A and B are shown apart, each in its own frame.
Chain A
Amino acid sequence: MSSSPAITRPPEQFEDLLDKRITVALAGQPNVGKSTVFNLLTGLNQHVGNWPGKTVEFKVGIYLHHGIAIEIVDLPGTYSLSANSLEERIARDFIIKEQPDVVVVVLNASALERNLYLVTELLWLGVPMVLGLNMVDVAKQQGIQIESHVLEAALGLPVVPMMASKNQGVRELMASVENLICDLSNYKPNMPTIREEQQAVVNELKQLITGLVPEPYLEDWVALKLLEGDEEITRIMQEHLADEQWTPIDHILSQNEDAVLAIASGRYAWIGRMMRAAVINPPRGQISLTDRLDRIATHPFLGLLLLIGIFGLIFWITFSLASPVQTWLDNVVINRSAEWIRQTLQGSPTWLSGLLADGVIAGAGTVLTLLPILVVFFTALSLLEDIGYMSRAAYVMDRFMHPMGLHGKSCLPLLIGFGCNVPSIMGARIIEGERGRILTILVAPLVPCAARLAILAFLTPLFFPGNPIFVSWVLVALNLIVLVIVGLVANHLFFHSEHMAFIMELPLYHLPNIRTIAMDVWQRCLAFLHNAGTLILLVSIAVWILASIPGPSIEDSILAGLGHQLEPLGRLMGLDWRMMVALLTSFLAKENTIATLGILFHNGNGMMTSTQSMISQIPPISALSFLVVQMLFVPCAATVAVMYQELKSWCWIFVSIGLLLVISFGFGIAIYQGSLLFNFIIHTLTA
């Protein structure tokens, strides 16, 4: 076994720590409890954002100990450090370019062999490492026993056993980190080896690149990555080297194109040797709790029933628990604060009170009233995620997602969409691969959100008193059918039906950790509030201005003018200008539709309420056409704002809006014109 070639940094003295900020990076594979460790270390001293220019979550926090502030950077969870995914590139770039003082690798003790694979990759980056052997309790339940000091001796790395979910071992972990920062003289990791055949090629490559590797990359690592066929490193070296320097390298690489598999096998062989003395595995044939639960949860039929049952329960809880709160907030808090603003600002110009009361409060404020619904929904989803169920839901749904060019994972954000499309679009981040993520975001607005379900619940009994529930179901089903068709077509059109690989770990079930769930819900709500406070607020103000100038009433506004201009289009769908304006205002927030219809159909003489006047003035076929268009209409402003945040491309947003405009108007026209044609035929036949 080769000795450590990479650590070149001199041991640092304790006094130096006070002068400069110490950075510790948290690395680890998915499902190792890394975020629990991060939350324990930093508490509320954390900041969540995005990696510059990327849609990968970046979490950084401060750990205070003995008056020293240590910056903790949570790297994205990755299985390896190849250039396969954005997350992997971000994680390795951070370590290579920012050179954290220590990298803490959180390991799942119940999946140690696979977890050490990441360690074999990290060791070649030459940063000091401490291993946090987490979930030793879960491993013990599985019958796996690990002698951490034996493992420590074999690897030459500090190994600290932990149970982060029970807040055990984290203090010892940080003590070990501090020891390493103060004194690197005893840090002598056992460097991982690969098979001799591949090592010989690596040596050959290393000779060819010696002195030619750009800073801050290490020669050993670059040679290994070249042999692995790493696209990013190959490109960097090809650009950096002259042609005559690159040609012999390229020649060697073309002779060893499938070395990646042999290198991985070599790494696992090394891991096997390191683990042999330290790990006692359970006897074969043991059936664990996870296996027993999975017999139902992953069964093609029973699993589907369970999924439907769980989500039915979540909807029921959400709407029976949070909907009354939302209605109360909307009726009492929003209306009263709007009233209060009008009264307080009586002396000031009317536009100011109008802007605040009808623009800011009614727009952004109404979006905020969705928060209770989201808190309940997020808590339920976060709980399911934490106990390990969500990956089972993805597994069960996989077979239904493939025709759309999506796979199981995409159904997770789409399910969130029934609550609100905003978090659903943010949730699409879990999908690896740009294509899958963009496609999921494109179809996500077609999932009918709570606001649209509320419109259905309000309008269908008015126009279809015979069977409102049946009509509602048909309309929801139509949305889902259109979702599937859009997915199919978009996949074919934009992504040429490229296959998206479904490879997903199903973690062991375990008890939920309240702290992790609470932090997760808190962070998601913060993100939602942040959107409501910025982009949604701006759009609310813009729409209010359009609806109020030049005044005095909405009938005379630019928005109404637009409605009149759109009347010829509306006529094709059987919609008058008021219904077109209702559609336009629903862009601000879907539930505005009801309010706008209420204002525009209110005929002033007090003889009829707005709803009576609607029933008398809108023929059923127009109402049906309106509901279909409304359900399929462009996403609301909040959703568009988040789509921009996630896609960073107006192009895709125009594609999405254009597509939904064409689809919704197309269905409206088809329904109305179809009924006219039908009537015409009936008339001619009976005449």
Chain B
Amino acid sequence: MAKNYPQVLAEALQGQRYLIHQLRGGKDFVSRMTALGFTEGAEIMVIQNYGSGPLLTLVRGVRVALGRGEALKVMVLKINHEQ
């Protein structure tokens, strides 16, 4: 099995499922994100990521759009299919 390193959400692949590893940002940012369901260990699916512009994600059953700047502050771990 390939080693699984944390990566930024902004570089996550469309259609892939990830686990949220870390939120890197100010208290305001972290507080807003957690209220929308982004906490460490939560599953996140990248519905749309075209490499520029905002991202569309699915977290705790809710579609949440994130600006690219925000997606750079979220670290994720890829979920391997074998798991």
**Interface on A for B, CB 8 Å cutoff?**
79-80, 82, 84, 110-114, 117-118, 142, 144, 228-229, 258, 260-261, 264-265, 268, 281, 290-291, 294, 298, 300, 391, 394-395, 398-399, 402, 407-408, 499, 501-508
Of B34, B35, B63, which is within 8 A of A506 by CB? Answer: B63
Q: Could you tell me the distance between the alpha carbons of A402 and B53 in the complex, rounded to whole angstroms?
A: 9
Task: Known contacts A502-B65, A506-B64; decide if A114 and B36 are in contact (CB<8 Å).
Answer: yes
B53 and A398: CB pair below 8 A? yes
Residue B52, interface by CB 8 Å: yes
Residue B6, interface by CB 8 Å: no
Of A79, A84, A111, A501, which is within 8 A of B61 by CB? Answer: A111
Q: Quote the shortest CB–CB distance from B70 to chain A (angstroms).
A: 5
Q: Quote the shortest CB–CB distance from B59 to chain A (angstroms).
A: 8
Interface of B, helix, strand, loop or mixed by DSSP: mixed
B60 and A229: CB pair below 8 A? no
Of B36, B39, B48, B62, which is within 8 A of A265 by CB? Answer: B39
Q: Quote the shortest CB–CB distance from B15 to chain A (angstroms).
A: 11
Q: Could you tell me the distance between the alpha carbons of A145 and B62 in the complex, rounded to whole angstroms?
A: 16
A228 and B31: CB pair below 8 A? yes
Residue B13, interface by CB 8 Å: no
B62 and A111: CB pair below 8 A? yes
B64 and A260: CB pair below 8 A? no
Q: Which of B1-60 contact A (CB under 8 A)?
A: 23, 27-37, 39-42, 47-48, 50, 52-54, 56, 59-60
B37 and A80: CB pair below 8 A? no
Q: Quote the shortest CB–CB distance from A400 to chain B (angstroms).
A: 9
Nearest-CB residue, chain B, relative to A111: B62
A82 and B61: CB pair below 8 A? no
Q: Quote the shortest CB–CB distance from A84 to chain B (angstroms).
A: 5
Of A111, A261, A268, A499, which is within 8 A of B69 by CB? Answer: A499
Top 5 A-B residue pairs of the complex, sorted by shortest distance between their CB atoms: A502-B67, A264-B34, A399-B53, A80-B35, A79-B35
Of B31, B40, B66, B69, which is within 8 A of A82 by CB? Answer: B31
- CB-CB under 8 A from A506, the residues of chain B are 56, 63-65
B60 and A111: CB pair below 8 A? yes
A399 and B36: CB pair below 8 A? no
A503 and B53: CB pair below 8 A? no
B66 and A502: CB pair below 8 A? yes
Of A117, A394, A501, A505, which is within 8 A of B63 by CB? Answer: A505
Task: Known contacts A114-B37, A117-B35, A408-B54; decide if A504 and B61 are in contact (CB<8 Å).
Answer: no
Q: Could you tell me the distance between the alpha carbons of A507 and B62 in the complex, rounded to whole angstroms?
A: 8
Q: Could you tell me the distance between the alpha carbons of A258 and B56 in the complex, rounded to whole angstroms?
A: 27
Q: Could you tell me the distance between the alpha carbons of A112 and B37 in the complex, rounded to whole angstroms?
A: 11
Besides A117-B35, A264-B35, A407-B67, 5 more A-B contacts (Cβ < 8 Å) are A114-B60, A261-B23, A395-B54, A502-B54, A503-B66
- CB-CB under 8 A from B34, the residues of chain A are 80, 260-261, 264-265
Nearest-CB residue, chain A, relative to B33: A503
Of A260, A294, A408, A499, which is within 8 A of B30 by CB? Answer: A260
- CB-CB under 8 A from B31, the residues of chain A are 80, 82, 84, 228, 260
Nearest-CB residue, chain B, relative to A388: B63
Q: Could you tell me the distance between the alpha carbons of A203 and B82 in the complex, rounded to whole angstroms?
A: 42
Task: Known contacts A113-B60, A300-B53; decide if A84 and B32 are in contact (CB<8 Å).
Answer: yes
B37 and A117: CB pair below 8 A? yes
Q: Quote the shortest CB–CB distance from B39 to chain A (angstroms).
A: 4
Nearest-CB residue, chain A, relative to B25: A501
Q: Quote the shortest CB–CB distance from A134 to chain B (angstroms).
A: 15
Pairs A–B under 8 Å by Cβ, sample size 5: A84-B28, A261-B23, A408-B54, A499-B69, A503-B70
Q: Could you tell me the distance between the alpha carbons of A261 and B27 in the complex, rounded to whole angstroms?
A: 9
A113 and B61: CB pair below 8 A? yes
Nearest-CB residue, chain B, relative to A394: B65
Nearest-CB residue, chain B, relative to A228: B31
A501 and B37: CB pair below 8 A? no
Nearest-CB residue, chain A, relative to B62: A111
- CB-CB under 8 A from A504, the residues of chain B are 64-65
Of B40, B42, B60, B64, which is within 8 A of A503 by CB? Answer: B64
Q: Could you tell me the distance between the alpha carbons of A142 and B62 in the complex, rounded to whole angstroms?
A: 12
- CB-CB under 8 A from A281, the residues of chain B are 61
Nearest-CB residue, chain A, relative to B54: A398
- CB-CB under 8 A from A80, the residues of chain B are 31, 34-35
Q: Could you tell me the distance between the alpha carbons of A122 and B9 in the complex, rounded to whole angstroms?
A: 31
Q: Could you tell me the distance between the alpha carbons of A365 and B52 in the complex, rounded to whole angstroms?
A: 48
Nearest-CB residue, chain B, relative to A258: B30
Interface centre among A110, A111, A395 (most CB of B within 10 A): A395
B65 and A398: CB pair below 8 A? yes
Q: Quote the shortest CB–CB distance from A267 to chain B (angstroms).
A: 8
- CB-CB under 8 A from A402, the residues of chain B are 67
Q: Could you tell me the distance between the alpha carbons of A173 and B60 in the complex, rounded to whole angstroms?
A: 26
Task: Known contacts A228-B31, A261-B23, A298-B56; decide if A503 and B39 are in contact (CB<8 Å).
Answer: no
- CB-CB under 8 A from B29, the residues of chain A are 501
Q: Could you tell me the distance between the alpha carbons of A300 and B56 in the complex, rounded to whole angstroms?
A: 11
Q: Could you tell me the distance between the alpha carbons of A502 and B62 in the complex, rounded to whole angstroms?
A: 16
Q: Could you tell me the distance between the alpha carbons of A291 and B37 in the complex, rounded to whole angstroms?
A: 20
Nearest-CB residue, chain A, relative to B26: A501
- CB-CB under 8 A from B28, the residues of chain A are 84
B65 and A391: CB pair below 8 A? yes
Task: Known contacts A79-B35, A114-B37, A260-B31; decide if A395 and B61 are in contact (CB<8 Å).
Answer: no
Task: Known contacts A398-B53, A398-B67; decide if A503 and B61 are in contact (CB<8 Å).
Answer: no
Nearest-CB residue, chain B, relative to A399: B53
